[in-house]
């Protein structure tokens, strides 16, 4: 089943979802500057939050700002009676696992709602199995059902290239693609489709599906995180969870990250989250063994030993621990 919902994202910033910027314009007239409009529509707060809660990703954040600017300027133009057409905002997010594609898609949905581009701003995340049926006549209703759920928000299709299987002569994926193409064109002012996956496979998919390629306005690439960024992501996750590394734990985790990155199945920020989960497990076990009253400090402080017990430091077999 598709996973849907407003996501674990932040609370809505600002009181005026879309109507917001229109409302601001109506009351302020044409004397408002773009920056005031950004502020008043609540979009600036969302963008700032995006900056603070997502490490790195400068090109991705830049692109979201550009899209916000485009939509706000479109509003100002509309106000002046200039031709204003909602731009097509279908996107493609490419990058390796754990680089933040799903997370950014959720944030994008919130920003688009705040800008009044879509009504609801929810994200419906699906894969091929949610769209394509096993039998004749099953695909169209499945795809339409998903589209109905996603209308007013963002439809996120993970590993979208699996929709197209040229090796199966009568693959139903093609039927789903046709329906998607139609809706992407006809409902582009209330539905944003984001295709996600590995870059090389997506390129192949687009070259065989020019109709899809021509409807995607924004291609955004998510690079792998640097070691320093992965450390910052870990610190951010720990802070959010009310944990911290003690003095020796921080360098131990840096070593962990540099070893782990070179091993199979490394999935960027997701591997960091998984590693922290296991460290918390060892921390809990260690505290349990002391069997004494525990202080707040002890409950929240992770030590080097919680990290160094990882198989990443010893065995050549370490990758098994991290299989996705």
Ligand X SMILES: Nc1ncnc2c1ncn2[C@@H]1O[C@H](COP(=O)(O)OP(=O)(O)OP(=O)(O)O)[C@@H](O)[C@H]1O
CB 16, min distance to ligand X, A: 27
Beta strands in 61-175 (DSSP E): 91-95, 123-126, 154-158
The nearer residue to ligand X, 183 or 272, going by C-beta atoms, is 272
Structure tokens at 183: 């809706």
102-110, 141-149, 178-186, 276-284 -> range binding Mg ion (CB under 5 A): 102-110
Rounded CA gap, 33 and 37, in Å? Answer: 6
CB 24, CB 40: distance < 8 Å: yes
Count of residues of this chain found to bind ligand X when the rule CB under 6 A is applied: 18
The nearer residue to Mg ion, 103 or 209, going by C-beta atoms, is 103
CB 123, min distance to Mg ion, A: 11
53-61, 94-102, 275-283, 316-324 -> range binding Mg ion (CB under 5 A): 94-102
231 interface partner picked from Mg ion, ligand X, none, CB below 5 to 8 A per type: none
Residue 255 phi/psi, 5° resolution?
-65, -40
Q: Is 20 in the site for ligand X (CB under 6 A)?
A: no
Buried b (16+ CB within 10 A) or exposed e, 35-44: eebbebbbbb
Q: Is 102 in the site for Mg ion (CB under 5 A)?
A: yes
Site string for ligand X, 82-101 (x = CB under 6 A): -------------x-xxxxx
Q: Is 54 in the site for ligand X (CB under 6 A)?
A: yes
209 interface partner picked from Mg ion, ligand X, none, CB below 5 to 8 A per type: none
99-107, 143-151, 240-248, 257-265 -> range binding Mg ion (CB under 5 A): 99-107
Among 21, 41, 94, 102, binds ligand X (CB under 6 A): 102
Site string for ligand X, 197-236 (x = CB under 6 A): ------------------------------------x--x
Which helix (H) or strand (E) segment holds residue 121: the answer is none
128 interface partner picked from ligand X, Mg ion, none, CB below 5 to 8 A per type: none
Environment class of residue 314 by beta-carbon count within 10 Å: exposed (0-12), middle (13-18) or buried (19+)?
A: exposed
Q: Is 60 in the site for ligand X (CB under 6 A)?
A: no
Q: What residues have CB less than 8 Å from 145, skipping those under 6 apart?
A: none
Rounded CA gap, 158 and 46, in Å? Answer: 24
CB 261, min distance to ligand X, A: 15
DSSP secondary structure letter of residue 320: G
The nearer residue to Mg ion, 55 or 252, going by C-beta atoms, is 55
C-alpha dist (Å) from residue 79 to 15, 23, 30, 114, 200? 21, 11, 7, 18, 43
Environment class of residue 14 by beta-carbon count within 10 Å: exposed (0-12), middle (13-18) or buried (19+)?
A: middle
The nearer residue to ligand X, 52 or 281, going by C-beta atoms, is 52
Environment class of residue 197 by beta-carbon count within 10 Å: exposed (0-12), middle (13-18) or buried (19+)?
A: buried
| Closest residue by beta carbon to Mg ion | 102
CB 267, min distance to Mg ion, A: 10
Cα of first residue to Cα of last residue in the chain, in angstroms, is 21
CB 266, min distance to ligand X, A: 11
95 DSSP β-pair partners: 222
Q: Site residues for ligand X, window 236-295 (CB under 6 A)?
A: 236, 267, 269-270, 273
Q: Is 103 in the site for Mg ion (CB under 5 A)?
A: no
Q: Is 310 left (phi over 0), alpha (psi -120 to 50) or beta?
A: beta
Give the footprint of ligand X on this chain (CB under 6 A). 54-57, 95, 97-103, 233, 236, 267, 269-270, 273
Give the footprint of Mg ion on this chain (CB under 5 A). 102
């Amino acid at each position: 089943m598709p996973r849907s919902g407003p996501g674990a994202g932040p609370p809505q910033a600002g009181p005026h979802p879309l109507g917001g910027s229109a409302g601001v314009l109506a009351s302020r007239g044409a004397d408002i500057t773009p920056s005031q409009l950004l502020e008043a529509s609540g979009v600036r707060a969302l963008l700032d939050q995006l900056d603070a809660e997502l490490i790195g990703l400068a090109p991705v954040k830049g692109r979201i700002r550009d899209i916000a600017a485009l939509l706000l300027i479109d509003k100002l133009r509309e106000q002046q009676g200039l031709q204003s057409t909602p731009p097509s905002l279908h996107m493609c997010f490419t990058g390796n696992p754990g680089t933040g594609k799903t997370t950014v898609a959720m944030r994008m949905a919130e920003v688009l709602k705040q800008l009044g581009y879509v009504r609801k701003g929810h994200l419906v995340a699906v894969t091929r199995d949610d769209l394509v049926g096993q039998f004749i006549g099953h695909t169209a209703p499945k795809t339409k059902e998903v589209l109905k759920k996603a209308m007013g928000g963002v439809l996120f299709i993970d590993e979208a290239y699996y929709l197209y299987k040229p090796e199966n002569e009568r693959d139903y994926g093609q039927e789903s693609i046709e329906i998607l193409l139609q809706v992407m064109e006809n409902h582009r002012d209330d539905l944003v489709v984001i295709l996600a996956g590995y870059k090389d496979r997506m390129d192949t998919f687009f070259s065989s599906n020019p109709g899809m390629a021509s409807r995607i306005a924004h291609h955004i690439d998510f690079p792998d995180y640097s070691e320093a960024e992965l450390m910052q992501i870990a610190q951010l996750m720990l802070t959010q969870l009310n944990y911290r590394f003690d003095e020796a734990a921080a360098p131990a985790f840096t070593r962990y990250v540099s070893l782990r990155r070179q091993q199979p199945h490394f999935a960027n920020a997701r591997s960091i989250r998984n590693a922290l989960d296991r460290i918390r497990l060892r921390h809990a076990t260690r505290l349990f063994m002391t069997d004494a009253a525990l202080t707040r400090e002890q409950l929240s402080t992770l030590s080097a030993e919680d990290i160094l017990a990882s198989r990443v430091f010893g065995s050549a077999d370490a990758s098994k621990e991290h299989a996705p």
